[in-house]
Chain A
C-alpha cells in the first residue's frame, strides 16, 4: 500500500514539475545571494584601498594642516555581513554595509545610504527567504488541496473507506510523502547553498534552517485542516489561495501603510535641519558660548583656549561642528525611537503571521534586519567619537600631518552579536502548528 502511494505521487508529472520549479527557484535565489555577497565583499575590499589613497593624497597636499587633512579624510566602518545574509538580503541592499565618516558632525553624514535603483528595490530581492515565504506554500497548496476531495470527486472515496482500515493513517501517509518531497527539495537547496556560499554551520544557520522548515510544516498542517472540511477541490484551492494572498499581501501591506501613518518619521528631517543650524549658525555667534558648551561635553580639552578675537582656529571649528550633533541629538534619538517602534509593531504582527515571522526571524538571524541596522548606527556613533577624541588633541595642539602613524588608520569592522531567544523564534510556529493539528485531528476523527 505504502509503495503504491509513493508511485502514485512520483508518477504525477505535474508534481515533479512543481518540485523542479521550486528547486530551480531556490538555486536562482542562492545565486542572487551569492552575487549580493560578492558585490558586498568587493565594495569592502576596495574601500580599504580607497581610504589609504585618500589619506595619502590629503596628507601630501596639506601636510602642515592636520585640521584640513581631517576635514577631508573619511574613515570607514564595516558592518560585518555574515555569509548567511546571502539567503536573506533583508534591508542590506538599502542600508550600506560600510560607511565612511569624517570627524565633522555625524548627523550630516550618517543618513547617506548606498546607491540603489529604487525601481529594483521596490520589486524586492529574489532571495532564498522569498522563495520559502512565497513560493513553497504555493507548491504545498497545489500538493494538498485535493487530497480528500479528489477521491470524492472521482467517486473512489467510498471504495477507499471500505478497503482501507484506517483512512486517517492513509491520508497522513499521503501527506507525509508530500512533506518528505518538499523537505527534500528544501534540504537540497540549503545544502547547495551552504557548499556554494560556504555558510558556516553555526547556531544562527541551524536556527535559520529550522525556522524555514517549521514554516513549511505550518503550511502542511494548515492544508490538513482546510481539506478536513471535505469541501470541493475548487473550494479548497480558493480558500488556501485567499489565505496565501491575505497573509502575503493584503495584511502585511495594509499594516505597513498603517505603521507608516501611525509612526511618521518626520524627526529625521527635523534632525537634518537642526544639525545644519546647530553648526552653521555658530559662525555668526560669539565664540565663547560655543566653546563653553564644547568644554562641558569634553572637559579634558579646556586647556585649548579660543579667544574671542581669534580669526579662525581648528579648535573652534571642530567645536562648532560638534554643536551640530549636540543640537540635533534629541530629534535624532526620537527618530531612532520611531524606527524601533515601527520594528516592534512589525514583530508583534509577526507573532500572528507565520510568513512575516519567518521573514523577520530569518533577517534577524542573517543580521540584515532593522535591529542590526540600528545597532550598526550606534556603533558608527561610537566609532565616530573615538576617532574624534583621538584626533582632537592632535589638531588642537597644531600637530602636523606627519606626526601621525597613518598606517594604523585602516578600515574597521564592527561585528554585532545577537543573543538568540529560542522561545521567541520558534514558539509562534509551534503554537500555530499545534492549533491546526488539534483542529484537523478533531475533524479527522469523524472521517470514517
Chain B
C-alpha cells in the first residue's frame, strides 16, 4: 500500500511539473542551449584539432628532413609538441582554457607549456566558458530550485497537504514522492545531452568509443546524484519553510553559497595557505642547484673533473681526445642526467604545492556538493589538472629520451678531434633522424585520474547518503499545517 502511495505522489509531482507550459519551454530552452554549446564546442575542437594535426605533421616532417648534422645541434633544434584536449572538453571545458598548448623540447633545458587560450584573451575569458557542463552544474540547479521551492510549503499554505495526509499518505511518502518526482523531472535536462555528447566526441575521431563510453558512464551517475541532492535540498527547505517566499530566498542563498561564494573562498584560502613561487624565483633556484651539482659547461667543475680523471685512468690515456668515444657527448649525457633529475625535483615541489591547493578544493566537496561534482566532472572528461600534468610528464620523458639518444649518437659517431677549418664537418647521417620515433601523446586513462583523485567521488556518494537520511528524518517530522 505504501509503495503505491509513493508511486502516486511521484506521478502527481512529475505530472504537475510537466503540465505547466512554462516548464516545458524552460526544458526545451535549456536543451537548446546545451546543443548549441556542444555544436560550437565541436566545431571549435575539430578546427583546432585539424590545425594541430597539421602542425604536428609539419614539425615531424621538418625533423626528418634535417640534413646531416652534429647530434648536439639537432638536440637544440629540438622538438615541438602540441597539446590537444580530450574530445569530451566539448561537454566540460574544465581547465582547458588555462592550459598551455605547446612545449618546445630541447637538450638540457626544460621549457614550459606556453600559449594558453586565456593568455590570448582579454577580461571576458574570466567570466568563464560556456559549456553544457556549466549549464548542467549551475543553471539547471537554479531552475530546479525555482520549480520546486513551493512543492510542499505551497500545499501547506493551500491546506492541501492535510488532505493528502488524510487520504493515507504518510509524511515519508510525501517527501520521498516530491523529491523523486522533482528528481525525475530534472533528469530531462540531463539524459538527452548524454547521447549527443557521445556522438560529438566520437565524430572528433581522437579517441575510441570505449574510452568515451567509460567516461560517460562515470559522468551520468555523478550528475544524477548531484540532481538528487538539489531535489532533496529543494523539497526539504520547502518542507521546513514557513512561507513560499522564505523558501525561495533560502534556496537562492544556498545556490549562491554553493556556486559562487564557497568555490571562490576555498580557492582564495588555498592560494594563501600554500603559496606558489613565481617563475623567476623558480628558475633562479633551479639554476643555482644545477650549478651546485656540477656544471657541464664549466671546465673547472669538480664533479666533471673527477669523471674526466677516472675516465683517463680507466682507458690509460693522457687526454680526452684519445678516448675511444666522444668525450663531449659523454659529459653532456652526464650533465643531462643530473640537470633533469634536479629539474624534476623542483618541478615536483611546485606540483606538490598545486596538488595541496587542489586537495583543499577536493576536500571542500565534503561541504559543497557542487564543487565535488565540478571536480568529478573534470576528472571524468579528462580536463582536470592531473591529466594535464600527465601531458607535461610525457613531454618531459620524450625530451629526455631525445636528448640522451642524441648524446649517445654523439658519443658513438663523433670524433674527439675538432674538424679543421674548411675540413669535413663533424656531422652524422640524416637517416638517424627518421629512426627516432615521433611524440605520441596519450590521454590519461580515466581510471588513473580517479585513483589519484578519489575525494570528489567519495564526497558525491557521501552526499547521496546524507540526502537519503535527511529525507527520512524530514518525512517523519513533516508538519502538515
Contact = CB atoms under 8 A, between A and B. Distances in A.
Interface of A: 28, 32, 35, 39, 43, 46-47, 50, 53-54, 57, 61, 76, 90-91, 94-96, 98, 100, 108, 111-126, 130, 134, 138, 142, 233-234, 237-238, 241, 245, 248-250, 252-261, 264-266, 268-270, 272-273, 276-277, 280, 283-284, 309-311, 335, 338-339, 342-343, 346, 349, 356, 359-360, 363, 369-370
A248 B249 CA distance: 20
Main secondary structure of the interface of A (DSSP, over half): helix
Closest 8 CB pairs of A and B: A253-B130, A370-B122, A252-B127, A118-B98, A346-B124, A111-B114, A123-B267, A254-B130
Contacts of B76: 280
A111 B119 CA distance: 9
A261 B124 contact: no
A118 B99 contact: yes
Interface stretch (B275-283, B393-401, B466-474): B275-283
Interface in B345-363: 350, 353-354, 357-358, 361
Contacts of A115: 112, 276-279, 282, 350
9 contacts: A35-B272, A43-B278, A115-B276, A119-B267, A120-B267, A125-B126, A266-B48, A269-B82, A276-B80
Given A117-B354, A119-B95, 11 more contacts: A35-B271, A54-B287, A119-B354, A120-B270, A248-B127, A255-B124, A256-B128, A265-B117, A268-B120, A273-B59, A338-B120
Interface string B1-37: 0000000000000000000000000000000010011
B139 A245 contact: yes
Interface in B64-91: 66-67, 69, 73, 76-78, 80, 82
Given A54-B284, A245-B139, A254-B130, A370 B95 contact: no
Interface residues of B, number: 98
Interface in B260-317: 260, 263-265, 267-268, 270-272, 275-282, 284, 287, 291, 295, 297-298
Contacts of B142: 241, 245
B129 interface: yes
A76 B278 CA distance: 14
Given A249-B139, A259-B124, A46 B280 contact: yes
A255 B122 CA distance: 12
Nearest to A364: B123
B122 A91 contact: yes
A116 B388 CA distance: 13
A50 B52 CA distance: 37
Contacts of B95: 118-119, 121-122
A249 B127 contact: yes
Given A100-B280, A311-B421, A356 B127 contact: yes
B129 A253 contact: yes
B242 to A, nearest CB: 14
B476 interface: no
B191 interface: no
Interface centre among A43, A120, A283 (most CB of B within 10 A): A120
Interface centre among B47, B52, B114, B287 (most CB of A within 10 A): B114
Nearest to A265: B120
A234 B146 CA distance: 10
B51 A346 contact: no
B116 A113 contact: yes
B417 interface: no
Contact of A120 (B44, B116, B357): B357
B80 A272 contact: yes
Given A43-B281, A118-B385, A369 B123 contact: yes
Contacts of A112: 111-112, 114, 279
B437 interface: no
B123 A91 contact: yes
Nearest to A232: B245
Nearest to B260: A134
B248 interface: yes
B115 A111 contact: yes
Nearest to B54: A266
B271 A120 contact: yes
B104 interface: yes
Nearest to A261: B44
Nearest to A233: B245
A124 B264 contact: yes
Contacts of A120: 267, 270-271, 357
A191 B99 CA distance: 37
A253 B126 CA distance: 9
Contacts of A39: 275, 278
B239 to A, nearest CB: 19
Given A111-B115, A118-B388, A261-B40, A96 B124 contact: no
B246 to A, nearest CB: 10
Given A112-B114, A122-B98, A280-B76, A256 B129 contact: yes
A248 B126 CA distance: 11
Contacts of A260: 44, 117, 121, 129
B41 interface: yes
Nearest to B122: A370
A56 B116 CA distance: 34
A189 to B, nearest CB: 17
Contacts of A53: 284
A276 B78 contact: yes
Contacts of B59: 273
B73 A283 contact: yes
Contacts of A134: 260
A115 B280 CA distance: 9
Given A118-B95, A120-B270, A126-B264, A360 B123 contact: yes
B252 interface: yes
Contacts of B284: 50, 53-54
Contacts of B232: none
A276 B128 contact: no
Nearest to A100: B280
A256 B124 contact: yes
B118 interface: yes
Nearest to A275: B104
A117 to B, nearest CB: 5
Contacts of A359: 123, 126-127
Contacts of A277: 62
Nearest to B45: A261
Contacts of A276: 77-78, 80, 104
Nearest to B62: A277
B343 interface: no
A436 to B, nearest CB: 23
B130 A256 contact: yes
A234 B69 contact: no
Interface string B371-400: 000000000000001001000000000000
A273 to B, nearest CB: 6
